Amino acid sequence: MRTFIAIEIPAEIKTALSGLQTELRRAGAEVSWTKPENIHLTLKFLGEIEQRLVNEIERACVETVAEFQPFKLDLTGAGVFPKARQPRVLWAGLSGEMETLLAMQKQLEALLAAFRFKSNEKAFRPHLTIGRVKSNRHARELAARAEAYSLPALSFDVREIVLMKSELLPAGARYTALAGIELNEK
């Protein structure tokens, strides 16, 4: 099964991101939009795994979050990867207690390396993917609209991480939580 580890985003923020998507659609670019209900912060994409690994991955998640108390993240700005001239990913940014987030993600990476999951070659750049650009048609206008858009000042508390199953269907991806692991509430 195809899996990843993520932080779920509250409905209020998904609604705000849906508004951003509505504005960006006006650019007329060819984009595969992330369904608002599917927007999340990916901590680690695991890819295809065997069912027998689920419990061990969950234990690695439990061990990771045991060292972290809940922390706050803020929704901040939007943009594109890799560059405005040829965007491939539309994203909404995050700020807040980034040192905690980065430390937790790094620890998770290290523990999952024991299961032979490769470490990401690129540095972890926390973001919420809101769409994937399919062509360069109207891409510059799309990037300009993303960077000019003013997201509402919203924040949320990270209280758990979730091991998710991803099924790729003709109507789009369907995510199912396999395990939710709460941070340490000391």
Q: Does the pLDDT of residue 119 top 90, yes or no?
A: no
Beta-carbon contacts of 130 under 8 Å, excluding residues fewer than 6 positions away, are 17, 20, 21, 24, 33, 34, 39, 78, 90, 91, 92
Q: What's the whole-number average pLDDT of the chain?
A: 93
Q: Does the pLDDT of residue 76 top 70, yes or no?
A: yes
Q: Does the pLDDT of residue 171 top 70, yes or no?
A: yes
CATH value at residue 167: 3.90.1140.10
Predicted TM-score (pTM) of the model is: 0.93
Catalytic residues: 40, 127
Q: What share of the chain is helix, strand, coil (3-state, %, to 5)?
A: 30, 40, 30
DSSP string for 137-159? TTHHHHHHHHHH------EEEE-
Q: How far apart are CA 173 and CA 175, in angstroms?
A: 6
pLDDT tier at 122, thresholds 50, 70, 90:
confident
Q: What is the predicted pLDDT for the residue at 99?
A: 97
Averaged pLDDT for residues 125-138: 95
Q: What is the predicted pLDDT for the residue at 161?
A: 98
Q: What total of structural domains would you count in the chain?
A: 1
Q: How far apart are CA 117 and CA 77, in angstroms?
A: 31
Which structural domain range is residue 83 located in?
2-182
Q: What is the predicted pLDDT for the residue at 114?
A: 82
Q: Maximum CA pair distance of the chain? A: 51
Averaged pLDDT for residues 33-60: 94
Q: Taking the alpha carbons of 61, 62, 68, 72 in that order, is the dihedral positive or negative?
A: positive
Let me know how long the chain is: 186
